Amino acid sequence: MEALPVRSMEAGVPEAWSPQQVLDQVRRIQDVMKIAMKEDEHYGVIPGTKKPSLLKPGAEKLCLTFRFGPEYEVLPSSRFDDAFIIYDIRCRLIHIPTGTLVGTGLGSCNSREEKYRWRTSARKCPECQAETIIKGKDEFGGGWLCYKKKGGCGAKFEAGDARVTEQKEGRILNDNPWDQANTIEKMVCKRALVAAVLNATAASDIFTQDLEDAHETSPPLVTPAVDRPTPPRAPTVPPPPPSPTPSQTDDSPAIVTIANVTVKTGKTGDKEWTRYSIITEAGVIYSTFDKALAERAKGVKGYEVALSWERSGKYLNCTEIEPTEHGPIVVEPAGMSPGEPGPEELVPF
């Protein structure tokens, strides 16, 4: 990847910078970060990392500061066919007043990445075609029901009705990547832009890009230190997955595969707390303060489960975890005791 140092565009200024000029450059970026940027909008910290991650709005703010104009080039390694899409793009940053190239960055995105390869499918009602089919309770005759509270028509179907039972549900392969071609193109341009800005401004000691995409589904939980004390924050969790089923509501469980469970302890005033983060394979994070529920999630890592959740503002809280027909039997752990306070960072649970 080609990377040119940021330098003054004024005539007569030497190509090489003095140590003081380098320090001035760092201070300028830090000042922009403190005064003109907002956490979780322009930058943020991914759970388990220490360095803030530069987001696309933050990269655009630095382009405005240094008067950079991005140009994008689709590279020959890109591929577009019915089964697979991959974009490889180079972003070139041009100093607008002089037309000088100041830095480049590469980005890549393809339709087999986790967030684009899969889609969530739910059983549709044979009558109204809404994805609102639920299992009927035995005391009401069993079978299947098109649930009115989810927007269904209320129709009932026999337990063995093939129109319902033969439908696939849960996470399935996305067989039409072209539905997401525009999203993939925008993502790769964002990645290339962030890489170019970090190269051109030499700001990798302040920001990182490695986990920047996680902010698409998981807002940062940790406040980075930017020359000011960081008070303890109330536990937060990210919004729901980027592509939930259209009919999903707060009272319907999400069919997910649990990838990891982490724990963080802290203190607000005189009150100590322990928060557990349940991370799915799609990168979505659900929170709970219930250690027993976290132990249950830990016990079914790698399996498909039905995770019940409720919304708290723009965040999600896990309320229950139950097995699906493809998952294991969830066994309640015995002898649970309150979590002991630990260091102020996320650690594997």
CATH number of the domain enclosing 277: 2.40.50
Is residue 186 domain-shared with residue 261, that is, in the same domain? no
Is residue 185 a part of any domain in this protein? yes
Of 138-147, 153-162, 306-315, the range with the highest mean pLDDT is 153-162
- Is residue 75 domain-resident? yes
Q: Is residue 43 part of a domain?
A: yes
Based on the fold, state whether residues 80 and 157 are members of the same structural domain. no
Sequential DSSP letters for 127-148: TT--S-EEEPPGGGT-SEEE-G
Is-contact 105 199, C-beta < 8 A? Answer: yes
Decide if pLDDT at 87 tops 60: yes
- Does 301 map to a domain? yes
Cα 116 to chain centroid distance, Å, stands at: 13
Q: Which residue type occupies 123?
A: R
Residue 238 is assigned to a structural domain of this protein? no
- Bridge partner residues of 277 (DSSP): 262, 287
51 and 193 part of one domain: yes
Q: Contact 266/47 with Cβ under 8 angstroms?
A: no
Same domain, residue pair 206 and 264: no
Query: The tokens of 14 are what?
Result: 């030497």
80 & 97 share domain: yes
For residues 88 and 106, is the Cβ–Cβ distance under 8 A?
A: yes
- Please identify, among 186, 216, 246, the residue that sits at the C-terminal boundary of a domain: 216
Which strand ranges, in their side-by-side order, compose the sheet holding 144-146? 133-135, 144-146, 156-157
Average pLDDT estimate for 52-74: 91
Residue 260 lies in a domain: yes
In angstroms, the CA 283 to CA 241 distance is 8
Q: Are residues 33 and 97 in the same domain?
A: yes
Mean pLDDT along residues 288-317: 84
Do both 77 and 98 map to the same domain? Answer: yes
Same domain, 164 and 180: no
Confidence grade of residue 332 (pLDDT, cut at 50, 70, 90):
very low
Number of helices (H) and strands (E) in the chain: give both, helices first.
6, 17
Same domain, 78 and 180: yes
Q: Is the pLDDT of residue 331 over 80?
A: no
Q: Domain count of the chain?
A: 3
Look up tokens 């979590």; give the residue: 339
Same-domain check for residues 72 and 192: yes
Specify if 145 maps to a domain: yes
CA angle 327, 331, 335 (to 5 degrees): 150
Position of tokens 């649990």?
A: 258
pLDDT at 13 over 70: no
Same domain, 189 and 80: yes
Q: Give the C-alpha separation, 293 to 305, whole Å.
A: 13
Which pTM does this prediction carry?
Answer: 0.48
Q: Is 68 in the same domain as 97? A: yes
Alpha helices in the chain (DSSP H): 19-36, 56-66, 114-117, 162-165, 181-201, 291-299
Tell me which H or E stretch contains 95. Answer: strand 85-95
- Listed in sequence order, the residues at least 6 apart from 323 whose beta carbon sits closer than 8 Å to its beta carbon are 300, 303, 305, 306, 329, 330
Q: What is the mean pLDDT of residues 84-89?
A: 91
Q: Are 263 and 294 in contact (CB under 8 A)?
A: yes
In this structure, is residue 62 part of a structural domain? yes
Mean pLDDT along residues 213-239: 44
3-state percent breakdown (helix, strand, coil) of the chain, nearest 5: 25, 30, 45
Q: Which residue, chain included where needed, has tokens 């337990």?
A: 159
The neighbouring-strand residues paired with 323 are: 305
Boundaries of domain holding 35: 19-113+176-216
Look-up of token digits 């592509």: 243
- Distance between CA atoms of 70 and 95, rounded to whole angstroms? 9
Least confident of 115-124, 172-181, 221-230, 267-276: 221-230
